[in-house]
Structure 1
């Protein structure tokens, strides 16, 4: 199982403004052949930020999620523009979504989103030493900004409107990283 499957053929089977679907014909080391489909990323990547203010609270947003057809509480996140570094993208998105920039941004981890169906991932960043600065974003309506004590993220995860798996993982990683910094 250590040998990766051989790519026999791939081609784009569908695309929209947001998504491109690729079909991949693969041959596995035991000779089995399968066709897989996956979403192919566009752009230069994406970032998700765990912004921690001076009161050791996480800055959150409440926004409409078309996929779940409801409002959801989550972490600020967004696309990396061409030519931007991850830190620059994180800082810009923070200013657009929560009205704060960060003087200190640390990369924690690149995470895959759904490795069976998506090639793209997201880079998780921790943002500290926040300062007020607002940039106009691309959201269709103003985002609600909330704060939550970093020490009580277990209660946040129990909320029925906080369900995004990557945000949950990012919070726990950031909390552990933050506590190690305090030692």
Structure 2
């Protein structure tokens, strides 16, 4: 494992201000002391965290969602995912999101790990799970949530990533993190 001397790289917060308070995101601007003793400004987004679920159907296919993402003005293929509510346990969030978005419940859950998708400007973390032994019970989409569900074999997923049809970072990272468990 790569060893680093974290203390030599630490930046210490001297001042902080919240410059935007949104429904999902909050933007902060901090004055920090840099490792060389000088000062700098750091702007960053705070995020409550999220989960992402690799849901495996009995035939081995994976559940994907096709969902419009406004910032890029187009639909994307991605695995089910969603924001962690305040005080919510990560597996409870994964169970809730899988049920709401796909209509499936899983009898078997495995936590794969955590990823940090935007380390240069956000504290967001995404907890990755694998869900197996699925039973369809019907979706419960949030108000204003629109998506299409589809299932892809692992070979189809690989081809879609290679062809640039799957470009969502959390989806590609989660699949890479879980690859040994999916083959």
TM-score, normalised by the number of residues in structure 2? 0.89
| 1:14 alignment counterpart | 20
Alignment check: 8 A CA contact 1:92 1:135 kept: no
Separation in 2 of the partners of 1:68 and 1:100? 28
Specify every segment of 5 or more residues in structure 2 that has no aligned partner in the other structure, as ranges: none
Give 1:153-164 correspondences, 5 Å limit: 153-164=157-168
Separation in 2 of the partners of 1:79 and 1:141? 13
Give 1:1-183 correspondences, 5 Å limit: 2-3=6-7, 4-42=10-48, 45-138=49-142, 140-179=144-183
Alignment check: 8 A CA contact 1:150 1:175 kept: no
- Runs (4+) off by over 4 Å: none
State the aligned residue count: 177
TM-score, normalised by the number of residues in structure 1? 0.89
Separation in 1 of the partners of 2:119 and 2:22? 21
**Is 132-141 or 143-152 further displaced after alignment?**
132-141
Alignment check: 8 A CA contact 2:66 2:78 kept: yes
Deviations 1:6-58 (A, max 9, x none): 2111110122222210111111221121101000124xx31000001111111
